[in-house]
Amino acid sequence: MQFALALATCVLAQPLAEAPARHARMTLYYIPFAAETYVAVTEKTIKKGAYHTIEVDSPERIAALEAVLADRKGKGRFNRSSVRLLVVPRSPATADILVDSEGRVSEGGVTSALTTEAFTSLKRILSELTAEPRTSHPEIIRRAKAIPVSALDPRLPELRLEDWVKEVCTRANAAELVPERVASGTT
């Protein structure tokens, strides 16, 4: 059972010449497996209802997906109204692969089930493919400093946040240096 996970790991670690993917590109239509839908998601509706449409062209990712999707056990009772993943290979000779919410697979009319390890690996791979790109802490700060303060409040000047804060702080510091009587106009 752990063979598929080990195979996927080995495939990712090998040079491309040693572990070629069968397909040059894949399109994935994906709804998270745990998602509850109020309407049936079928082979015909998954493309329109997919939360994520993912184009995969990395040979390493494709090989890993192929290895995980090939790790199946016995027959499975595929739920045609609970489709969560449609894998469309870029090879017309290859059938689309459907995976339901429980990890059962339908490929070319033949049904089976992913092993527990393969289903877990598939969820991890899909999570990585759909994750938002991470932004570094310094990048977030740089972006925040560049926001025009007028976008936050239209009454404020058209200055970058960083420049506006410096200006306001300079004025505040200058006011503290002036004696209270002068600032209030009671000299």
Question: Total structural domains in the chain?
Answer: 2
Same domain? 8 vs 68: yes
Mean pLDDT of 157-169: 87
Confidence band of 13 (pLDDT split at 50, 70, 90): very low
Same domain? 113 vs 150: no
- 84 or 25, which is more confident: 84
Task: Give residue-wise pLDDT tens across range 20-33.
Answer: 445 578 999 999 99
Phi/psi of residue 87, nearest 5 degrees: -105, 115
Same domain? 22 vs 89: yes
Segments forming the whole domain that contains residue 152: 137-184
The two most distant CA atoms of the chain are separated, in Å, by 94
Q: Which helix (H) or strand (E) holds 154?
A: none
Same domain? 119 vs 144: no
pTM of the model: 0.60
Q: How many residues does the chain have?
A: 187
Mean pLDDT computed over every residue of the chain: 80
Residue 165 has what pLDDT?
A: 87
Residue 105 has what pLDDT?
A: 95
Number of C-alpha atoms within 13 angstroms, CB side, residue 109? 0
